[in-house]
Amino acid sequence: METPPRQCPLCHGEIKEKSGVSQKTGKPYRFYGCSSYPKCDYIWRPEPEPAKEIPRIIPSMELSKEDKETLLKPYRELWVEVEEIKKGIQGILANTKQIINFFINKK
């Protein structure tokens, strides 16, 4: 991270850490400004860091069938587990409906 200059480039006053409150959000923030304010309104802002390049998970080249299988295997296993859970829930719902119908028709 960059450090602010010690001296104002406009009036040669001292640069100090200051704080303020955002008028939009109401949140406090810190900045560096000239100690000669309001005579000098210089504010130091660090240069923004360049955006980091996001690595590609899957290369743009064609994958072999084996590579595709290797990449998809954990998801297929998870899908099988989800389907088994769905079947179990459907069975519970069917049993619940049968029990409700039994008591409704018993009257």
Residue 55 lies in a domain: no
| Closest residue by Cα to residue 20 from 11, 32, 9 | 32
C-alpha 81/C-alpha 14 separation (Å) is: 65
pLDDT at 75: 84
Residue 52 lies in a domain: no
Residue 21 lies in a domain: yes
Residue 84 lies in a domain: yes
pLDDT at 70: 84
H or E stretch including 31? strand 28-34
Supply the range of the domain harboring residue 93.
62-107
More confident residue, 105 or 106: 105
- For residue range 40-62, what is the model confidence (pLDDT) as tens digits? 999 988 777 777 776 666 555 67
Contact assessment for residue 29 and residue 68, using Cβ atoms and an 8 Å cutoff: no
Same domain, residue pair 2 and 38: yes
pLDDT at 15: 92
pLDDT class of 10 with cuts at 50, 70, 90: very high
- For residue range 58-100, what is the model confidence (pLDDT) as tens digits? 555 677 788 878 888 888 888 888 889 988 898 888 888 888 8
Residue 57 lies in a domain: no
C-alpha 23/C-alpha 3 separation (Å) is: 26
| Number of domains making up the chain | 2
Contact assessment for residue 43 and residue 32, using Cβ atoms and an 8 Å cutoff: yes
Sheet strands side by side (includes 43-44): 15-21, 28-34, 43-44
